[in-house]
């Protein structure tokens, strides 16, 4: 029975422990991104991480960006500006860097998503509509807007990454 439960999408498995009911969709989406990322990357060649087929973003970029956007949105959700480390990370997303491996990218995504789930547990639902600001331009938004965007944007990049993986894994690909 438990095996059947694990085959279901995350949202079909029930609530994520200690996450408020109104934030369950965010937790489910982030955890689904984590599971799907690991599944889609299984067997994907390390040598293809940085290839940009047809000028599209590389798989490595999508993995970096998923982790980065979650981290940044949760900083803004806590009403904090980005740190120098976060700004440096942002400025190098997509640049081929020595020492970055498929495993290190997957581990970073997992770490960031797990941290986001922990942060969701501490959000008071009565604060979801409180004002927050995005970026240096301080674009007005709300707490719920930021954390929802972290989940939605991550899911969008997961889909783009899947297409890139399929493209690069296809026997029909002649040149990239």
Q: pLDDT (tens digit, 9 = 90+) per residue, 15-40?
A: 999 999 999 999 999 999 999 999 99
Position 6 pLDDT exceeds 50: yes
Is position 49 within any domain?
Answer: yes
Averaged over 123-140, what is the pLDDT? 96
* Token pair belonging to 70: 């979650």
Give counts: helices (H), strands (E), the chain.
6, 2
CATH code, domain carrying 44: 1.20.120.450
Q: What is the pTM of this model?
A: 0.92
pLDDT at 126 over 60: yes
How much is the pLDDT for 64?
Answer: 97
5-11 own/partner pairs: CB under 8 Å, 24+ apart: 10/35
Q: Is residue 106 situated within a structural domain? A: yes
Residue 174: predicted pLDDT = 53
In percent, the amount of the chain with pLDDT more than 90 equals 87
Q: Is residue 176, in this structure, part of any structural domain at all?
A: no
Total domains in the chain come to: 1
Instruction: Report if residue 12 sits inside a domain.
Output: no
Does a structural domain hold residue 174?
no
Beta pairing partners, 133: 140
- For residue 128, which of 19, 40, 36 has the smallest C-alpha distance? 19
> Residue range 120-127: average pLDDT?
97
For the chain, what percent of residues have pLDDT higher than 70?
A: 93
Range of the structural domain that residue 101 is part of: 18-167
């Amino acid at each position: 029975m438990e095996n059947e439960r694990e085959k279901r999408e995350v949202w079909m498995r029930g609530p994520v422990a200690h996450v408020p009911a109104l934030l369950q969709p965010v937790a489910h989406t982030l955890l689904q991104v984590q599971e799907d990322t690991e599944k889609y990357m299984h067997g994907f060649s390390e040598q293809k991480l940085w290839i940009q087929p047809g000028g599209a973003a590389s798989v490595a970029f999508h993995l970096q960006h998923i982790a980065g956007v979650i981290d940044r949105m949760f900083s803004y959700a806590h009403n904090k500006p980005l740190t120098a480390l976060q700004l440096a990370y942002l400025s190098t997303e997509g640049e081929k860097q020595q020492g970055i491996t498929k495993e290190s990218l997957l581990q970073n995504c997992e770490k960031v998503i797990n941290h986001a789930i922990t942060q969701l547990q501490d959000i008071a639902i009565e604060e979801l509509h409180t004002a927050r600001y995005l970026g240096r331009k301080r674009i007005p938004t709300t707490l719920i807007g930021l954390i929802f965007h972290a989940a939605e944007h991550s899911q969008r990049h997961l889909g783009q990454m899947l297409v890139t993986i399929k493209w690069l894994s296809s026997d029909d690909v002649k040149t990239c």
